[in-house]
Chain A
Amino acid sequence: MSLVSIEAASSGGAPALPSRETLARAALAIAAGAAWLFFAFVTENWPDVGEWGRGPELALAAGGFGGALVFAGLLGGFFPRGAERLRRYTPWLLALGLFFTLWQATTAKFALLPQPFFPPPHALVEVFADDWPKLWESVVASIRLELLGFVAGALAGFVVGVSLGWSRAFGYWVHPVMRLIGPMPSIAWLPIAFFAFPSSFSASIFLIGLTTGFPVAVLTWSGVASVNAAYYDVARTLGASRAFLIFKVAIPAALPHVFVGLFMGLGASFAVLVTAEMMGVKAGLGFYLQWAQGWASYANMYAALLVMSLMCSGLITLLFRLRDRLLSWQKAEVQW
């Protein structure tokens, strides 16, 4: 294997040894490939203790992936830039290959983990392969509900927060109500919401909105209240109207705070989303989880959890992107 790298490195004609870095890169890629090949071997050749589908397909895919990694490691010397990019992922790929092998061995092969509560990898593959229409439908339903509630709650919270920061009369009436209702977990409203609203869907939008709205309102309010008073002086001496002071001074200055509230609200709203779907809404990933549990289909539950984590992570990523666009004037803080 290293012979190829040596040949590649000696491009000038005079034989030169490949750098230690090149060798380490190649070794890591090959080790990761070997782990995946071993995973494929274990999956295919060791006998299963139970009945799970899609083992051969998984073995084929893992074997192909492992072979490709080994191949990339061998040829890495020819494509230093590609190899460098691959180098970023190979430690994780190696760890994942080992983890999948361990998972496979402790479940399907030796049943060291209690069955049927810990299904093997190919059982999850089976779920994704056979049940994807239902999973997809659930994801779409969850995202729809989440976004409707989140956007409604964020808008309401933003308006309330700006008004609290700006108007004393508004604060007199709204502040006590917010102090009373805001800190309470919105899920507590669930039993009431489900009969007070025409449908469990609209009730859930209300609950998600309430969860999102509270942190957004508080953080927006504190953002507006903490705007440097000198900004207002500057704007006023330059002829700014009241509307200009609100929309062109207070709100942009408060925006970093608003985003902290949006992140808190989004994180909290996921909990409400899943609970609402488990308790009453007849769609979405929470409902899918509940349904899978009813049938004791543990593989389906793990598959749904995986999809749910991807969905939540994706939504948080979108919010980070939006923040980076709107607050590009700030020095970058957290990289998500």
Chain B
Amino acid sequence: MVSLAHDISTVPGVEIAVKDVSHRFDLEGAPLPVLDRVNFTAQRGEFVALLGPSGCGKSTLLRLVAGLEPPTQGGITANGEPIAGPDPSRVVVFQDPTLFPWRNVRDNVALGLEAQGLLKLRGARVEETLLLVGLEDFAKAFPHQLSGGMAQRVALARALVNDPDLLILDEPLGKLDSLTRLSMQGEIVNLWRRAGFTVLLVTHDIEEALLMATRVIVFSERPASIKADIAIDKPYPRHRDDPDLVARRREILGLLGLDASW
């Protein structure tokens, strides 16, 4: 399946439109609503953070955008084309790196190209991408030999090697220690600014959203609906002590009902 995004590859990124999407799970016959009439459009090259309490359904929204599941109601389009299934132009980095333990780092990164039969044609991209995430010396290491941060870097490289139009990040830094987390936040922003793809980042870390995204969408408790859509019009690199960002953080905490803390 070739999406429209591939055809107009001169302009990086993709426009993702989520229209009136509701979704529910069937748990033993009892329907569990997780998304309630969600509407938003991510412009080409935008970095959108989806912020909300944990378990509110934001990750489900990402699975729908990735095409892993169809929404119960409503529709999602990529550059106007409905999303009918997964496509390597929209890749996901999950909270767990989920590297294949039987493949070394290089072969894990090459996974997408191999699956699409492009390994012969674009194999050099594997080495380039390893260099990009600083893992060129670990190409032959196996996943069980890597630290959590390194493994997540490999997962990032495995996504980027496909030159995606949309990078879907599902709390990718959630399980890392705080130092690794800070440095990878900066790295991801740099990669995005260089390549120009669209980013959807799910997080429950307000600071992370404010430091990285051009736009923060705040979700309610499950079933998730949009509470606020806030543009963060600030140059990079941003600083956490920036008074504007501090004000925004207080505002978002208030939206989440947590203004008493901090």
Contacts and interface: CB of A to CB of B under 8 A. Distances in A.
B92 interface: yes
B111 A238 contact: yes
Contacts of A238: 88, 91, 111-112, 115-116, 158, 162
Interface in B111-152: 111-112, 114-116, 142, 144
A246 to B, nearest CB: 12
Contacts of B111: 234-235, 238
Contact of A249 (B67, B100, B104, B112): B100
B192 interface: no
Contacts of A244: 114-115
Given A233-B68, A233-B92, A248-B114, A239 B86 contact: yes
B106 interface: no
B112 A230 contact: no
Interface string A243-258: 0100011001101000
Contacts of B158: 234, 238
B14 interface: no
Contacts of B102: 252-253, 255, 327, 329
A85 B65 CA distance: 63
Nearest to B68: A233
- Tell me the interface secondary structure of chain A in the complex: helix
A280 B96 CA distance: 57
A236 B100 contact: no
B115 A231 contact: no
A311 B129 CA distance: 50
Contacts of A241: 115
Contacts of A317: none
A319 B91 CA distance: 39
Contacts of A239: 86-88, 112, 115-116, 162
Nearest to A233: B68
Nearest to B162: A238
Contacts of B104: 329
Interface in A213-265: 228, 230-231, 233-241, 244, 248-249, 252-253, 255
A231 B94 CA distance: 11
A41 to B, nearest CB: 56
B91 A237 contact: yes
Nearest to A232: B68
B101 interface: yes
Interface centre among A236, A244, A249, by most chain B C-beta atoms within 10 angstroms, is A236
B74 to A, nearest CB: 21
A231 B115 CA distance: 13
A234 B88 contact: no
Interface of A: 228, 230-231, 233-241, 244, 248-249, 252-253, 255, 327, 329-331
Q: Which 4 A-B pairs have the closest CB atoms?
A: A238-B112, A239-B88, A240-B115, A239-B116
